Structure 1
């Protein structure tokens, strides 16, 4: 009898879980859209035509969608890496530096090894980036697990060290002598993903990212190791009482997180740039931390917010081209949308409380 009663409730329960991030995202986007209309009107432009022009630039046709997707792939992978560490109770704020060393490792393997068979060369580039980013993050996780070094501080400071190290290499020992700017040699063609949509930078790396999203979701939500990492993050004391090796869980979760961030950096090289240069990933690591926080460190939530973020960024560029409104305005809008997402539950509770009080007053008057 118990089995018959629980089966019908399984699907609605899962749908309810999926509806939560969707509802939070929709509330935030609606709030941001209303604010955007007000700001655009203050600039002297018609809100709706201007916003539609931005959306057409981001999603108007196959080329626009492909362009928006191509920009967001490295960001999505990096955000998944940050979220993975957050879920395990490790606050990896070093995504920017890990992305940079991953990009540098992929650029070195792509330029100085080969040319090889394309699939093998790409695999080597991705593996080098994952190992480099994972090793850096695992080392910082080891400091936390065995020496008690605060990972927020260590990962934050590591950004400056790693970015400056990569900048030195790009301007010094590994600089391409044919270019004035600080960049490495161009990678071989066999180290570049093939383009799948003409006139865009959307490459077959899309399939790799799709596989990484599924693998990250399974590892985090369905695997035994993922359960141990989640338990370590939510209740270390209980996890230790259950026989989970806390130190090992922290180090391995950071290793996976850093590997994903490094892979995000490798996609910048192998999908679009074709080399490492000093500004290759500026800001992506910090955006990834933001998306991981807003997405509640869940793979589905991060995926949804990465999509919203990419559309907003692309739309802002479209609005700037059509009207001349500076794209920096998008930063203000994105900030407001994120605040709205975080404050959604409190705002809805406040509105509900006001409605309840208003109803009580009306009933007394009647």
Structure 2
């Protein structure tokens, strides 16, 4: 019988270079020390050669699972590819008072902020790479301006969006959707702020130049073809273009309330960002869409094993700054809104992992794209 553990390192490296998923890379490295060395070399070569821009990279999708202890640096990730849970100890935000930690995801990275701290960072859960972010200013309703706070209040952080993967390029921008602190729920506003890597401060943007006309609630925000786009509670799509200094400039793209059905059934529409017209898409084909507390993204089922095509994967979109009533319902009844909606049969399906649903206000169930090492 062949002794596969003693095959030459260069041959083991070639074998590892043909493994397309990070989960397989890790399993390969667990065989023996020789294969572990080969896997480390192959990961570097794969990032440079196989996963080049001219060759689409296969994608894994993970589901971050909530913990019973929201102060812990230990987090668990369920892979849709191999249906296994991995545990990681993450270098999260400085947490001197052992307080709750808020986590949000984008491009496989996690935004981390502790309740009793003004430290903010993003973390790669695979490599443990960490990027510290500048101090943040919140809108102060009483002063009518922006102020620094010694502690942020983690429930104010609603959405975190990266323009690209920091593992692959240092040219990236972050957009944050934040709720106004110390305001009543009935009159709380949300503000979007931007930070371009290398800048010394965040650049906030106030819709319509102020906060007095109406309540702003951003349902989601994405990055698409060089610009950020958001949809607010009135169904208006906004585009944010950043100038050379990183300052945002906004414009209205479309008013969806005049174009979309007025009910709660799941629909998919394709928006033309040039003319603002929305077109119904009855079938996603090979694509699956992932929505929830994470930044929304899509993946091709043919290149992301374990994913069902023509489907919408969703987790609870609980917003702690606005949904305090839902929090009580979730905790008392164990209610977690999560599953897969198939556009093929127009039915909702259960996720195939076995775990008693657990509600977390700070780090709930959350989709993660495969972070590159």
Q: TM-score range by the shorter chain?
A: under 0.3
Greater percentage in strand: 2
Larger radius of gyration: 1
Structure ranking higher in helix proportion? 1
- The TM-score, its normalising length taken from structure 1, stands at 0.22
TM-score, length-scaled by structure 2? 0.22
